[in-house]
Homo-oligomer: A and B are copies of this chain.
Amino acid sequence: MKTTLTIITLFMSVLIGAQQSEYKQDSIQLRTIYTASLTNGNSYQWLDQLTNRVGARLAGSEGDKKAVAWAKTELEKIGLDSVWLQPVTVPHWVRGEKETAHIETNYGKFPVAICALGGSIATPDEGILAEVIEVQSVKEVEALGDKVKGKIVFYNRPMPADKIETMQAYGATVGQRYNGARVAGKYGAVAAIVRSMNLKLDNYPHTGVMSYGDTPENQKIPTAAISTNGAELLSKLLKDEKFKVKLYFKQNCQNLPDAQSFNVIGEIKGSVYPDEIIVVGGHLDAWDLGDGAHDDGAGIVQSMEVVRLFRKLKIQPKRTLRVVLFANEENGSRGGKTYAAAVKTNGENLIVALESDAGG
């Protein structure tokens, strides 16, 4: 939770005038904020409420509604100058019944763990059973072209483990998850299976967003993540000639009509430059398979804590300090887009914006 301090530090330098004579006073105020954050912080209590009482909160779900209500209530309790909800129309994807999968071979069946990617369509009720073609990238699929027809394309490029900045490892492979089904579908594949975004070998496939782009409805194919252990096993069996390999999987997800959600916003009006706005925020939505403590519960409570501490310590910022708890970052970024559009429409002078979305 020390990120809270970092956020505050960053903001203080903007909020408080840059005159030399004020530097000493600033440093005393900063120390006061540090101390209050460490001795009277509310982050963990909030995080406990958001993760254990609200829990999973994917856009459009009941959890999403609960999270919006919770956040609004908590921001109101702080006693900000104003708290409001900004309507956001969000996708409404549901996972349905738990997915099942196994590798079928001439030596028997091997169960593997999969989970539908967010936004994917379902398989037919009887599931999909097909031969598998393993690839390392969407480029490879484009080179293969019609050879993937009728098959399940298995994207197995692992996250590179030699990155010191771990988000680089994510960035290096997330493309095959996001675009895998779209490209494989174009060439007639019947499904796309993607290695779970995880450096560890385990049986817990990670969900995440995918996109069909502008694929026509009849070319959309179902797509799922396969656990890293499952990916290793499938790859090994595919390379061994004595095995005749097919993959079976069934998933039951649905894209329902768009739903209503909200960005939850609160602010302390600036005393000198009320029209200059500083934004701190995180995203309130979280995937359905966890309780969203890191992604992005931490960012939410850190952001709320910034305005809470300013109020608690009776620090009056010169510029307007606004907290924005964004809707639907995970599978559509509609909250961010809606907020940005409103800033433009209203001609707001947004001088700094900081989103905290890198875990606790």
Contact = CB atoms under 8 A, between A and B. Distances in A.
Interface of A: 2, 5, 34-35, 38-39, 161-164
Given A35-B162, A38-B164, A39-B162, 8 more contacts: A2-B164, A5-B164, A34-B162, A34-B164, A38-B161, A38-B162, A38-B163, A39-B161
Copies per complex?
2
Contacts of A162: 34-35, 38-39
A8 to B, nearest CB: 12
Nearest to A164: B34
Contacts of A164: 2, 5, 34, 38
6 contacts: A2-B164, A5-B164, A34-B164, A38-B161, A38-B163, A39-B161
Contacts of A163: 38
Contacts of A38: 161-164
Contacts of A35: 162
Nearest to A5: B164
A333 B106 CA distance: 62
A155 to B, nearest CB: 21
Contacts of A2: 164
A5 B164 CA distance: 9
